[in-house]
Amino acid sequence: MQKLGDFKLPHFFNYPPYFTLQPVRDTREKQLQLWKELILDYCRTQKIFIIGLEEEFSLFTNPVIERSLSHEAKETFLSALVSEGRAEWIDKGHKKCLILWLRIQDWADCILRFVKDNGLEDSVMTVEEIRSGIESRGTELHGMDRTVLIRALKVLEHKGKAAIFKGTSADDEGVKFSV
């Protein structure tokens, strides 16, 4: 089985036709499903939140079989994730895509588990502490995209489980949890 770094690639990754958009509807649906799962799994294990269509992205090229996805194929696969709520276009031109291997609500649930597991109820933390602090090491929150984190915190705030405090800069934004 081929690997990309420490990530094990699925068998279809070595099958050249899967790097070309398939014209037959049933085959294309299978192709879409395989690529969507691969993109989400890869981004999750590598902690990748943003994919740029115009930028090199190693998952979209297989040098062993000398195949790369076309721009149209990349946009098709990412658009399929967008339509399922697993990604969002960051810009109107569809050049950059925010990958949501966990939906925003799932991220909010993950934050609540983190708060409870670490006894942080009624505590105040900075957004940066959640993303890169000692407590978050070894969790999915560590290295999390700031935009996704803020959106998940806003979900918690809306439910009355957190209060977000604006600081003088982005580095000192804080949140108080009331779980």
Summarised one tens digit per residue, pLDDT across range 8-32 is 999 999 999 999 999 999 999 999 9
pLDDT at 89 over 70: yes
pLDDT at 170: 64
Q: Under CATH, which number does the domain 3-99 receive?
A: 1.10.10.570
Domain ranges of the chain: 3-99, 104-177
For 102, which DSSP code? Answer: S
CA of 111: how far to CAs of 107, 128, 140, 156, 178, in Å? 6, 13, 9, 9, 12
Architecture category of domain 104-177 in CATH: Orthogonal Bundle (1.10)
The CA distance from 65 to 32, in Å, is: 20
pLDDT at 143: 92
For the record, the structure tokens of 19 come out as 């790097």
**The two domains 3-99 and 104-177 share their CATH topology (first three levels equal):** yes
What are 141-171's pLDDT values in tens digits?
999 999 999 999 999 999 999 999 987 776 6
Average pLDDT over residues 89-114: 95
pLDDT at 3: 73
State the amino acid at position 8 in one-letter form.
K
CA-only gyration radius of the chain, Å = 19
pLDDT at 172 over 80: no
Instruction: Say how many CA atoms lie within 13 Å of 52 toward its Cβ.
Output: 3
Q: With bands split at pLDDT 50, 70 and 90, how would you rate the model's confidence at 179? A: confident
Average pLDDT over residues 36-40: 98
Instruction: Round the average pLDDT of the chain to a whole number and report it.
Output: 93
- Phi first, then psi, for residue 72 (nearest 5°) are -60, -40
